[in-house]
Structure 1
Amino acid sequence: MTNPFDLISDAFAPYYRVNLSIERLDGSIMLTLSNDTGVVAKRLISAAQRNDPIRLRRVVDSIRLGLAIEQGEDALQVLAAMTDSAGRDRVWRGAGIAR
């Protein structure tokens, strides 16, 4: 089984500083992504999302989608690329977001 903390860190570490902190007693964690200008994203990840690899991948993809849109990417192109592995890599790299 893949460590969920490694999966999250690996997805964003090449482009952002990744901070994971325990947020609640129920096991929820707070993901904070930052760069030289400050915090670019914060997301609460529930224990259920963290412990389910499919749900965790969806959380990571949703964060990437939001970041890509904020950086001016075309939402429809980003969504289309999410279903195509080759296109997916291209969109994330083009938006400065690791896959």
Structure 2
Amino acid sequence: MSNLKSRPPSKPKQDLDAFLTGAESGKKTTPTADRPQETYPWQEPGVRDDVTKSFNLRLPEPYLLKLRYIGEHTPDSMQQFCLRVLQEAIDGKINELTK
């Protein structure tokens, strides 16, 4: 059987204090220059632009009827219109969130 004993921390007190302060504040104490650039899910290896995935969107009936009207009265289909508008909105929000 092993004999377990309590030992004092091996790091100096100021390192322990900085660690505890960072844990309490919820902030990382690592300088920005030491951290690697964040990789976002759409930048991961294996993500392909040529693969299309489905996303089901529930619209209130008046908006579905408006979307059909757009599709019938413009060169864009309902899908083309939604894809263009949604991609622009997503890119705008991502730029805002990642700056």
Q: Normalising by structure 2, report the TM-score.
A: 0.29
Q: Normalising by structure 1, report the TM-score.
A: 0.29
Max Rg structure: 2
